[in-house]
Structure 1
Amino acid sequence: MNRKIFQIASAYMSVIIGGGFASGQEVLQFFTNFGWMGVAGTVISGVLFAFLGMQIARIGTQLKVDSHKEVLQAIFGKQLSLLVDLALIFFLFGVGVAMLAGSGSLFQEHLGLPSVVGAVAMTVVIAATLCLNLHRIVDLISAVTPFLIVMVVIVVSYALFNNSGADTAALEAVAVQGEKAAGNWALSGLLYASFNIAVGFPLLAVLAGSETNLRNTTWGGIYGGLGLGALIFLLNIGLFFNIDQIQNAQMPTVLLAKGVGSWIGVLMMISVFCMIYSTGVGMFFAFTARFAMPNTKKFRLIGLASCLVGLLLSFAGFTKLVGTVYPLLGYLGLALIAAVLVYWLRNRGKPSVAA
């Protein structure tokens, strides 16, 4: 794997592996609470991440796009793409709000501080970051991803070793009582991939558009998607074998990490905070860029205003926001998946851009 492929795959994973994933709350609601069938749901998501990541990256390179709106126009048409773009921006703002709420939950549950302190702290950091160059943001969040991967592997390994003799039937009974993001495991796996693709495709498309080598973007999308699938699978298994301890936790991965050791717990908490930050920046950046050009006074003012409004809305609570905003975004993502599939079927026989 060359440097370009790694960079694309890492950036793709970085956008998807946000605060909701790092906290464990997404995986808990979309997979773990379906018991053993949740494992099958992770496979569905992993396959979709690889296929969709590859296709979106290829479209970005072939069309040499500068904005995700160009990709939307290519797959939906000019008129329909405008409606999809507006709906997408609205829901991306909702995910940004969920990240502010997630920071509040992190501070409250693991530092013993009022949730408002964490939410305000994250709001200030995100607002201050919105003036940075997009590629600088990508560099920052890409650097965090390998650290999070190591943390997940450590925590999951400990969770499995520490509960090797667990009564799986009893764990299954506890798991299925938890709050679920969808009516069944298959739909949940599909929705998880669809809402994450909706969140991640703007950055992936733009990054691919700046790359001229189609092979790099193709394999970057595939490896990034497979990496996401593997992480979801591992984290789901770790949460399942400790479901009796973390079912009601706002940040289940941090709770598991504390069981390994106090220092591991601290490192996981820092990792979760960084991923909440990276996703929050990406979401508020995409929302603000819809109304103003980056690095302008107008952009900064709108960015600050959106962060302040998001702070107020974040007091609805992290778990509630994950369980409502994310599934709704998932249904919008289904339209994106269908459009990408149709575009692929229509153009798969046509010559590609030279690698």
Structure 2
Amino acid sequence: MKKRWGTILQIAATYIGTVVGAGFASGKEIVEFFTVYGLVGLIGILVSGMLFIWIGTKMMLLSHRIGAYSYEELNTYIFGEMVGKVINVLTLLILFGVTSVMLSGTGSIFEEQLGFSYQWGILFTLILCYAVMIKGLDGILAVNSLVVPMMLFFSFLIATSLLGHHDFSHVFQKEEAQVTWKSLVSPFAYVAFNLAMAQAVLVPLGKEIKDESVLKWGGFWGGIGLCCMLISYHLALSSLPNVAQFNVPIAEVLEDFGSFIHILFLIVVYGEIFTTLIGNVFGISRKMQKFFVISEKWMIVGILLLSFLISQIGFGSLLGFLYPLFGYTGLLLLFCIAVKQ
């Protein structure tokens, strides 16, 4: 029984760690999708939580039932041979693009927050990523089991520290709570984009786990964890006036919390980026092994080097160009998984 629950928690942690990335960590992603809509945004978070539980779990169960080795096989099963090929190419571009964004993000943390070189930050991350990736899925599960509890603790710390010290009436202000088409679409777009990336890990994870009930509970608690983190960040960010103007709004919330919280914040941000990074590299590696007959170690080296070259474009430029494209692809995936029997 203990081993079963240990596996469930590992799946939940891996789900959370794969979804949470640089945009979540900075708070900017949450502001744009939810916080700017006040109370409607909070309702949108609850909808997102239900979608994460439903669609994320279903993705793993479908992968388990068809024995999908990589996201390519799941997409072919969902969309058919012809459309599946197009989706797989787009998904590969998504994974490479987001991997480069995450890598660029780690360089920015080292440069802006620690005063080290941007390139040294990326190099450190590449070495650490390789060390984890040669362990395969076990390495990803182990890292997420370590990092995700820190993320959850940090979210809980933010929420409890702010309760009683801030006025959250901003969340419920009438002008901020108007229902618009953007506010209605936001939870679906948010989940779609994140699951388009998460399938790189969730699909092989679904195949590896033999017990469907373990997958169901892992998906359930993973979705619950994501929803709770979103709510805590949303409430914290809602305490800021003109929150949309900040590039890293969560840093503004933590400004007066002292050096310990600042250091913890940097560790959590780096961990959030790193878990998404290794998940993407794992998914790309699974895909590319079908086309190139080389050892997995050299495959990982090649993927990391190519991602390094793309990351030189810069964090902001990559984010602005790639993320809208990923969102549209994700919406199609979300809909098709929802209706697939």
Q: TM-score range with shorter-chain normalisation?
A: 0.7 to 0.9
Q: Distance in 2 between matches of 1:159 and 1:40?
A: 20
Q: 1:19 to 1:294 in 2, by over 3 A?
A: farther
Q: Deviations over 1:185-231 (max 9, x none)?
A: 22222111001111112311221222222222122212211221221
Change (3 A) 1:31 1:105: farther
Question: Which 10-residue stretch deviates more, 23-32 or 185-194?
Answer: 23-32
Contact 2:32 2:244 in 1 (8 A): no
Partner of 1:248: 246
Residues 1:272 and 2:272 aligned together: no
Inter-CA distance 319–26: structure 2 relative to 1 (3 Å threshold) = farther
- 2:22 is the counterpart of 1:19: yes
Where does residue 338 of structure 1 map in the other structure? 335
- Partners in 2 of 1:264 and 1:214 — Cα distance? 39
Q: What is the alpha-carbon distance in structure 1 between the residues aligned to residue 155 and residue 322 of structure 2?
A: 25
Deviation at 1:87, TM superposition (A): 0.8
Who is 2:83 aligned against? Answer: 80
1:302 CA drift (Å): 4.6
Which stretch of the first structure deviates more once superposed, 160-169 or 149-158? Answer: 160-169
Which stretch of the first structure deviates more once superposed, 84-93 or 37-46? 37-46
Once the two structures are TM-superposed, the CA of residue 300 in structure 1 deviates from its matched residue by: 4.0
Given the alignment, which residue of 328, 331, 347 partners 2:325? 328
2:136 to 133, 136, 139: 133
Flag the 1:94–1:255 CA change in 2: closer, same or farther, 3 A.
same
**Aligned match of 2:11:** 8
Asked if the contact 2:38/2:171 (under 8 Å) is kept, the reply is: no
The two structures, once aligned, show a CA RMSD in angstroms of 3.2
Q: Which amino acid aligns with 1:211?
A: I
CA deviation map 1:51-105 (0-9, x unaligned): 1022112212222333332322221123322221111011111111111221133
Which of 96, 121, 131 is matched with 1:93 structurally?
A: 96
Give yes or no for contact 2:16–2:223 (8 Å, CA) kept in 1: yes
- Does the 8 Å CA contact 2:14/2:140 hold for their aligned counterparts? no
Match of 1:188 in 2: 186
Q: Distance in 1 between matches of 2:151 and 2:20?
A: 9
Please name the residue that 1:353 is paired with.
none
> What is the identity, as a one-letter code, of the residue corresponding to 2:128?
V
Distance 2:39 2:207 in 1: 40
* C-alpha contact (below 8 Å) 2:59/2:202 kept by paired residues: yes
Q: Kindly state the Cα deviation for residue 106 of structure 1 after the two structures are TM-superposed.
A: 1.8
What is the total number of aligned residue pairs between the two structures?
337
The equivalent of 1:146 in structure 2 is 149
| TM-fit CA distance, 1:308 | 3.4
SS at match of 1:132: coil
What's 1:287 paired with? 284
Preserved CA contact (<8 Å) 2:96 2:280:
yes
Shift of 1:149: 0.5
Higher mean C-alpha deviation, range 81-90 or range 1-10: 1-10
In the superposition, the TM-score normalised over structure 1's length comes to: 0.83
Q: Distance in 1 between matches of 2:154 and 2:169?
A: 23
> For 1:108 and 1:194, how far apart are their aligned partners in 2?
31
**Secondary structure of residue in 1 paired with 2:217:** helix
- CA–CA distance in 1 between the matches of 2:184 and 2:307? 32
Equivalence for 2:220: 222
User: Structure 2 vs 1, CA of residues 109 and 166 (structure 1 numbering), >3 Å: closer, same or farther?
Assistant: farther
2:237 aligned to 236, 239, 244, which one? 239
Give the structure 2 partner of residue 179 of structure 1: none
Instruction: Trace 1:36-185 onto structure 2 (pairs within 5 A).
Output: 36-164=39-167, 184-185=182-183
